[in-house]
Structure 1
Amino acid sequence: MFRQSKTFLSKLRCLSVLQRPKSISAAERALQYVVGQKIHGFTVREVTPVPDLFLTAVKLDHDVTGAQYLHAARDDSNNLFSVQFRTTPMDNTGVPHILEHTVLCGSQRFPCRDPFFKMLNRSLSTFMNAFTASDYTMYPFSTQNAKDFQNLLSVYLDAVFFPSLRELDFWQEGWRLENENPTDPSSPLMFKGVVFNEMKGVFSDNERVYAQHLQNKLLPDHTYSVVSGGEPLAITDLTWEQLKHFHATHYHPSNARFFTYGDLPLEQHLKQIEEEALCKFQRTDPDTAVPAQTLWDKPREDHVTCSLDPLAPDPTKQNTLCVSYLLGDITDTFEAFTLSLLSSLMISGPNSPFYKALIEPKIGTDFSSVVGYDGSTKQASFSVGLQGMAEENIEKVKCIISQTIDDIIATGFEEERIEALLHKIEIQMKHQSTMYSFTFSQYPVQLLKISENVARFRQCLQENPRYIQDKVQHYFKENTHQLTLSMSPDEQYVEKQSNAEQDKLQQKIQALSDAARIDIYEKGLQLLSEQCKTQDASCLPALKVSDIEPTIPRTPVQMGAAGGVPVQYCEQPTNGMVYFRAMCNLNTLPEDLKIYVPLFCYNNKLNGIFCCGEFDYRQQAQQMELKTGGMSVTPQIISDTADLDLYEQGILLTSACLERNLPDMFHLWSDLFNSPHFDDEERLRVLVMMSAQELSNGISYSGHVYAMTRAARSLTPAADLQETFGGMDQVKFMKRMAEMTDLTSILRKLPRIKRHLFNPDNMRCAVNATPQKMEDTAVEVERFMGNITSLRKERKPVRPVIVEVMNHKITPGKNKHSAELYQN
């Protein structure tokens, strides 16, 4: 078998892609810009190479309006654009959120309703959206087609700078009074509106309620003290005139930040932005800056209430407590980098001090919904606490948090933990996800210089061995600007919310004259008529066939086998990373065990399985952080597109590592296959409680997904299994398990599941690596398969490897070698 592998490796070397002649890269072209250079109304202010990320950052200012521009030139065809406005509301009416919705309802050049949605089938975009944050609003898109980029840029520029902002659109997207039945003037009046109902949904989620209160109360002096998305009843105080005024003052180029990324020429972007938008404006002085929060001279405490959660793991333990500390200004990029590292050391994984102190004693079910470093506001914060706890434990948790901080100051962190975290940063720097371009739009250039920050951090540690402890002393022990916020359920919470809405509604109704009631009815009919009209989208730009490449680039792959297991090898410029994936089907797993598969997979997350090989679960998690970018096991259901009655059921194993850690990654997988230990009931109970809490918390936020999953379960066998794995069946099952006093029966089931799932007979694999490292990777895959051969049942003849697999049927007894599954 190993001799066959050698033959395959020789063939693999012969099939390696030839090196192409080197051409100048986008990053190299951008280095040719000179500070002070004028380009289409912009002036270059800074040209910064970022070798860690293979890009060059170019900063520019618009000469007339002062608009700021950042371009990240990189050899990436997935080109991205975004424009951001600093939006700083001073009330709870949700004006920036409603404005974000309303500008997407048509503009001067493109007056059709919902041009963004109409562009979905006229574009090849890979991403289109808009976001409202606490102090900014962002409109990003990405595409791989140059003409499509120009089309989308035209639509986006016109939408944000020249929106129609019709009153009808404000009624639809924001709020309105309308008859329950718009065609029946005798039906009762009620509040309606997209954002109004959206925010009612947001505030039905206890986690979101808590997070919002925490920010409002920790930063009470300015815009962070209000709900930028809108507090439902306050939304009904916003007027159309106020909306238009907010747009005029905030959606101006002088208050804008532009960002582009990719390999398309910067000059074309600047020319289009200048000609289609900026040339029509003059400089203003928008008063949108966020002042620093006045620091408190002593800590504060507060309390809020929420609704009861009928699916909580323990209905008698639904209290939340969190201590939040205000940190430094996020514009100090190295300090922000350091505090983010410190946060991870304190709360991430089973080896962290707060995990040991708060999670493992089982005082609560999980960390509080807000936990760790938060750099989304002008001044960052750090929060830590528990949810799912009894009221009588609140004081105890406060003491534990205080004592844990003292312990960290006294003992610091193990050097291996710090190295594991720095390794994680190196992985994140090299890994290029599908949202790689989008992440750049949210960080200053200095923060992207990761290697410099890591080197400076190491130097600080070398110069002062207590560098980290001193930061903890300063930001946590001596910090008087800290808020302790508790939250408890109120049985009348929902009723009180409903009554408050009815009171507000009656106030509005009682103030109406007869003429106003008639006007509301007529406006309701007008809006209904407008919504029913067929929209003419001919004004929108569209791609022609000639704008699209006639051929689809294909990724070359080689099919081979290791120990009889099919393996797909794909050479890619992975930036020094190796990616491994494997599919293990569930065909042999008894039906009564399938409901336990998500729990089995949850146990195998990065937080550590119970024990593997020579390691306990803490050591296992530490090794994963030191040697890999994460190892995960997730349930997988793949429907056959040609026959709805056919599907593949299995689990997907994924991991990635730096090339130097390749043997270590496969050694960890070998331990997971060969010697997991399922004998720690206390560890299982912690994981069950955390899983049950996560599922319960997700219902209000993703209720529509649960509803769709439940509605689809009777349509196809795959949908029925999806309900078992990820629907309300799984939520209720985990709740029942969390209520069990004895989990011994569950422990016995896990080894049975493992024997069926971690079996080479039911497995296929894929690896992605650079051409230079593919031979070593193939050797490691072969060694890994050799290490797990003892798990095989009686060996069956190996099926021939099929390369052309796109139309291959999936049947319950056969694997599908899907090329789609292995795309990088």
Structure 2
Amino acid sequence: MQIKDLTTYRILEDIELKDINSRGYILEHVKSGARISIISNDDINKVFYIGFKTPPKDETGVPHIIEHTVLCGSKKFPVKDPFVELVKGSLNTFLNAMTYPEKTVYPIASCNDKDFQNLMDVYLDAVFNPNIYKYKEIFKQEGWHYELEDKDSPLKINGVVYNEMKGAYSSAEEILQEEISKALFPDNAYGKDSGGNPEHIPELTYDAYLDFHRKYYHPVNSYIYLYGNMDIVEKLEWLDKEYLNKYDKIEVDSEIKKQPEFNTIKDVVKEYSIASDEDTKDKAYLSYSKIIEDVLDTKLYHAFDVLDYCLISAPGAPVKKALIDAKIGKDISSSYDDGILQPTFTICAKNANVEDKDRFIQVIDDTLRRVVKEGINKESILASINSSEFRFREADFGQYPKGLLYGLQILDSWLYDDTKPFLHLECLDTYKFLKEQIGTGYFENLIEKYLLSKKNGAVVTLKPVAGLNSKLEKEQEEKLAKIKSQMTEQEIEDLVKETKHLKEYQEEPSPKEELEKIPMLKRSDISPDALPFKNEKVMLDDVPVIYHDYETNGIDYIDFMFETTDYTSEELQSLALLKTLLSYVDTDKYKYSDLSNQISIYTGGINFSVSSITKLKDNEPLIYLNVRIRALHENIDKGLDLLWNVLLNTDFSDKSRIKELIAQTASRLKNSLSSSGNVAAALRGLSYISKHGYYSDLLVGIEFYRFVSDIDKNFDEKIDSVIANIKKVLEKAIAVNRLTISYTGNKELFAETKDIISSYVKKCPKGTKPGKVLPIDLKQKNEAFMDASQIHYVARVGNFKKHGFEYTGLLRILKVILSYDYLWINVRVKGGAYGCSSSFQKTGEVMFTSYRDPNLSATNDIYEKIPEYVRNFDVNDRDMTKYVIGTFNALDAPLYPEASGIRSFIAYLVGETYERIQKERDVILNATQEDIRNLADMFEAVLKENNICVIGNEVTIKKEKELFKNIDTL
């Protein structure tokens, strides 16, 4: 049977999608009105999603809360958290749900046919038949609720989404984006935060929340997507029988209305919080935004990506350079939001001053007019288009399945026109068109029309206020105290009972018969064989080349690894700083702006990193400067010529350019530490106890931020020594005696590329051979770093090898158990944190972390009880099998060619063997609960080390200061 034979569906389009080697179908389900889009091809990593238009009317976060809560049990699968049950026991390659400004999407992916079907079933029942109507506790847990432990306790507000958004609103960039949206879209859904403003989330009532679901979660308002190699007819028949035919088509008013033109540039000033002892100088955010008409114009859709690069993002881009030269902000960025009906374009100056606002606007306006008059650099336009086209053809989306990214992209048009889901996917002709417009005035006319002549825009200024969040927290406490004071004794007693009841509900496990309704694979569904490494060692001019034989569709992936293990800590920090400068300053042949264009025209990117990994044989660190290039095979010679020019002939004499890059790096590191505080806190904690942790913190963590920040603040007095140091460490690193090369591609490409690589290696000096790592003095610091956040990132770390324990594959299973059972229930469900995780490395390193966590010491207490939980771990055979299967979704995740090569190369460097990973796999496949219980002593020893590091709210940190030896401001 073919799709055309199905009478339950109407085929609206059947089209060849030649740019992605696929067949596309657009269908309508006749009875329910559901929309279905299909991309059929031979990709085994299958993807499904169902999405809904969910335009918010206010800032209570109802779309976001529904996204969380529908995955908390349904009619067919009534367990409390089927999402977590799937994570524990599925081979999914993607499993999540996302709330956008006007849509909510529930995607899954898997390479296993049975698993894929199971995931589809659970997700569809979740959105159409959720238990939210039966259990108000779900709304309270995931959304918000008043919490009162006893009659004498202070009244609090808790809830997972509430705390998630408190974390989000601790970020200046998040606040800025919301204020820009409000200013640009006062009359439609985009002006309301679909995620929820924590100030307004407690205004959402249970009834209003249910009404929102009733209105929008109907098939007629849905967007269903299928991608990959599957029996499409079978899937469509099942979809009709199990879900869609139970609904009749109705009218749902979910139209995304356009914002009428207001023909003015709005001027908005808002405040945001910095830490109490921070200086407000150079901490303001200035932004300039315009609405860019219609997302359904595919040429415009891609053209503004090009303009984003040419005007702002590219090194030396005219608007960025003009603002930096005018000393307005230290970090200039831009964003083109093309995922909404009316895309927006924003230019932002971070680390600026409020009094510079008028100059900020004037410099942008003057520079854009000059660019229109003189024309955009033609090479810059070509560089941007070539870079986008390379990424499109490569189709490497890192950890995400390509079908997922295609599916999300089609919503950029499908959501606003039922007949055009594939509008932006077929883009090679558009890239060709845009190349043909270079030099014709096309791009300059777009600047004139949308950025200069059009008045629909906003200038939003964020003004820093020291200690604002502390003040707001105090006001919140007073407000809640007032609410409590106005409650009757009976109301207080009732609320204490409700708080207790919710905790009892959360603690009560789902009945066995409900858990068994969640479909699950068997251990026999798992391949017994580990994925092999592909490492073939070839000597090239006395340099080892590790060749990885993977099909790469005509792309060469090459890593040049220069070992720097023998560097001092000071040298390594200079090397880490160097990586932020290479290819962003002049060389003897190119100005940095021209160099950037050449790299984008001829390669898919040249990247520099400094990393520390640990050799398995002796647990000693291996530290290196890694230089990675990817390019189409026909361009690899030119790409390597550019790379070698950077490595051997970079000119560090332009101090003003270096100052600009250091200020930008400091700004971005600060934002990264605040938004990914769980990673930063864990690395800092590890720096107390392991060489790898020490060097990782030194190279990418808090210690590196402090190093860069100090140079930024004292630039004039330090710059000469900084330049001298980076020249010295670069000259020392770029040496044949320190070099190991990794090449990923097929045999034919490698055979042709070897001689080209050799010709460049010969240009390197022999240099010195790397020595052993230098001794370092590790000290337990147990630090807390205060910032302006309303939440915390709590990390506990240790090392089991110090206590005589060895790594085992059982730890991979325990990671799943702890992250999605013990920690999930206690830190997230009960505690209200947005996230929590555990990690165990082959080097012995152990990490427990929380993310956007309202608690501090309470979370630390939960970590302390892990050994007791492990010692008493008791599950049935089905649950044990579930944890085993869940372990393999990370082990067996499909990899793109470049990632496959990197995996093999890292194995070579650290001394990993196939025999060892096969043994690890065997241990996992045959694991028992007794094996897990036997790990308890390991964690008891690790937690007795008492290594803690926290980043977060200064008020809480000061209250709970007894946990720390040192407290500082981030």
Regarding TM over 0.5, the answer is: yes
Question: Which of these residues, 214, 221, 224, is aligned with residue 248 of structure 1?
Answer: 214
- Aligned 8 A contact 1:588 1:756 in 2: no
Give the superposition deviation at 1:580.
1.2
Corresponding residue for 1:488?
463
Counterpart Cα distance in 1 of 2:404 and 2:626? 26
Question: Which of these residues, 423, 432, 455, is aligned with residue 446 of structure 1?
Answer: 423
Question: Which of these residues, 270, 281, 298, is aligned with residue 316 of structure 1?
Answer: 281
Question: Which of these residues, 491, 497, 500, is aligned with residue 522 of structure 1?
Answer: 497
Corresponding residue for 1:15?
none
Give the superposition deviation at 1:265.
2.5
- Aligned 8 A contact 1:430 1:576 in 2: no
- Aligned 8 A contact 1:769 1:777 in 2: no
Deviates more, 1:574-583 or 1:158-167: 574-583
Instruction: Please list, as runs of the form range in 1=range in 2, the aligned pairs for 1:235-384 lying within 5 A after superposition.
Output: 235-308=201-274, 315-368=280-333, 371-384=334-347
Corresponding residue for 2:35?
68
Counterpart Cα distance in 2 of 1:819 and 1:576? 29
Corresponding residue for 2:850?
none
Listed one character per residue, the Cα deviations across residues 73-123 of structure 1 (whole Å, up to 9, x for unaligned) are 232222111111111110111101111111121111221122111222311
Counterpart Cα distance in 1 of 2:273 and 2:44? 47
Corresponding residue for 1:627?
602
2:620 alignment partner AA: L
- Indicate whether 1:757 and 2:733 are aligned: yes
Counterpart Cα distance in 1 of 2:212 and 2:769? 72
Query: For 1:69, what is the secondary structure of its paired residue?
Result: strand
Corresponding residue for 1:779?
755
Query: For 1:706, what is the secondary structure of its paired residue?
Result: helix
Give the superposition deviation at 1:545.
3.0
- Aligned 8 A contact 2:9 2:29 in 1: yes
Question: Which of these residues, 521, 524, 536, is aligned with residue 558 of structure 1?
Answer: 536
Unaligned runs of 5+ residues in structure 2 are 411-421, 772-807, 810-841, 845-907, 918-970
Q: Would the alpha carbon gap of residues 452 and 815 (structure 1) be closer, same or farther in structure 2, given more than 3 Å must change?
A: closer
Give the superposition deviation at 1:328.
1.2
Listed one character per residue, the Cα deviations across residues 387-413 of structure 1 (whole Å, up to 9, x for unaligned) are 212333222111100101101210121
Give the superposition deviation at 1:559.
2.5
- Aligned 8 A contact 1:307 1:489 in 2: yes
Counterpart Cα distance in 2 of 1:734 and 1:458? 40
Q: Would the alpha carbon gap of residues 488 and 527 (structure 1) be closer, same or farther in structure 2, given more than 3 Å must change?
A: same
Instruction: Please list, as runs of the form range in 1=range in 2, the aligned pairs for 1:169-184 lying within 5 A after superposition.
Output: 169-179=138-148, 182=149, 184=150
Give the superposition deviation at 1:552.
4.7
Listed one character per residue, the Cα deviations across residues 625-668 of structure 1 (whole Å, up to 9, x for unaligned) are 1111111111222235676x433222332221112211011112
- Indicate whether 1:392 and 2:355 are aligned: yes
Query: For 1:85, what is the secondary structure of its paired residue?
Result: strand
Listed one character per residue, the Cα deviations across residues 758-799 of structure 1 (whole Å, up to 9, x for unaligned) are 2232222222224442321222222222222x2433799xxx
2:710 alignment partner AA: R
Corresponding residue for 1:544?
522
Corresponding residue for 1:16?
none
Corresponding residue for 2:449?
474
Query: For 1:89, what is the secondary structure of its paired residue?
Result: coil
Give the superposition deviation at 1:381.
1.0
Corresponding residue for 2:703?
729
- Indicate whether 1:639 and 2:614 are aligned: yes
Query: For 2:692, what is the secondary structure of its paired residue?
Result: helix
Q: Would the alpha carbon gap of residues 692 and 678 (structure 1) be closer, same or farther in structure 2, given more than 3 Å must change?
A: same
Give the superposition deviation at 1:474.
0.9
Q: Would the alpha carbon gap of residues 613 and 167 (structure 1) be closer, same or farther in structure 2, given more than 3 Å must change?
A: same
Give the superposition deviation at 1:748.
0.7
Counterpart Cα distance in 2 of 1:597 and 1:113? 50
Query: For 1:307, what is the secondary structure of its paired residue?
Result: strand
Query: For 2:340, what is the secondary structure of its paired residue?
Result: coil
- Aligned 8 A contact 2:569 2:698 in 1: no
Q: Would the alpha carbon gap of residues 713 and 218 (structure 1) be closer, same or farther in structure 2, given more than 3 Å must change?
A: same
Query: For 1:595, what is the secondary structure of its paired residue?
Result: helix
Give the superposition deviation at 1:461.
5.0
Question: Which of these residues, 551, 560, 565, is aligned with residue 573 of structure 1?
Answer: 551
Give the superposition deviation at 1:310.
7.3
- Indicate whether 1:78 and 2:45 are aligned: yes
Corresponding residue for 2:195?
229
Query: For 1:58, what is the secondary structure of its paired residue?
Result: strand
Q: Would the alpha carbon gap of residues 221 and 98 (structure 1) be closer, same or farther in structure 2, given more than 3 Å must change?
A: same
Question: Which of these residues, 416, 421, 445, is aligned with residue 384 of structure 2?
Answer: 421
1:769 alignment partner AA: G
Query: For 1:105, what is the secondary structure of its paired residue?
Result: coil
2:311 alignment partner AA: M
Query: For 2:131, what is the secondary structure of its paired residue?
Result: coil
- Aligned 8 A contact 1:326 1:381 in 2: yes
Give the superposition deviation at 1:248.
1.1
Corresponding residue for 2:11?
44
Give the superposition deviation at 1:164.
0.6
Q: Would the alpha carbon gap of residues 755 and 456 (structure 1) be closer, same or farther in structure 2, given more than 3 Å must change?
A: closer
Counterpart Cα distance in 1 of 2:913 and 2:427? 34
Counterpart Cα distance in 1 of 2:533 and 2:227? 24
Corresponding residue for 1:159?
126
Percent identity, aligned pairs only?
25
TM-score (ref. length: structure 2): 0.75
- Aligned 8 A contact 2:566 2:770 in 1: no
- Aligned 8 A contact 1:585 1:815 in 2: no
1:565 alignment partner AA: V
Question: Which of these residues, 173, 180, 186, is aligned with residue 207 of structure 1?
Answer: 173
Unaligned runs of 5+ residues in structure 1 are 1-31, 797-805
Q: Would the alpha carbon gap of residues 523 and 794 (structure 1) be closer, same or farther in structure 2, given more than 3 Å must change?
A: closer
Query: For 2:292, what is the secondary structure of its paired residue?
Result: strand
- Aligned 8 A contact 2:45 2:109 in 1: yes
Query: For 2:101, what is the secondary structure of its paired residue?
Result: coil
- Aligned 8 A contact 1:321 1:485 in 2: yes
Give the superposition deviation at 1:309.
5.4
Counterpart Cα distance in 2 of 1:275 and 1:555? 44
Listed one character per residue, the Cα deviations across residues 446-488 of structure 1 (whole Å, up to 9, x for unaligned) are 21112111233344557xx122221111111210111111121
Instruction: Please list, as runs of the form range in 1=range in 2, the aligned pairs for 1:799-810 lying within 5 A after superposition.
Output: none
Instruction: Please list, as runs of the form range in 1=range in 2, the aligned pairs for 1:647-796 lying within 5 A after superposition.
Output: 647-740=621-714, 741-742=716-717, 743-788=719-764, 790-793=765-768
Counterpart Cα distance in 2 of 1:660 and 1:209? 46
2:386 alignment partner AA: H
Q: Would the alpha carbon gap of residues 672 and 409 (structure 1) be closer, same or farther in structure 2, given more than 3 Å must change?
A: closer
TM-score (ref. length: structure 1): 0.88
Counterpart Cα distance in 2 of 1:104 and 1:40? 32
2:432 alignment partner AA: A
Give the superposition deviation at 1:172.
0.9
* RMSD after superposition: 2.7
Q: Would the alpha carbon gap of residues 642 and 432 (structure 1) be closer, same or farther in structure 2, given more than 3 Å must change?
A: farther
- Indicate whether 1:589 and 2:541 are aligned: no
Give the superposition deviation at 1:496.
4.2
Listed one character per residue, the Cα deviations across residues 480-509 of structure 1 (whole Å, up to 9, x for unaligned) are 111111121123522442244235424543
Q: Would the alpha carbon gap of residues 412 and 753 (structure 1) be closer, same or farther in structure 2, given more than 3 Å must change?
A: same
Corresponding residue for 1:194?
160
Corresponding residue for 1:456?
433
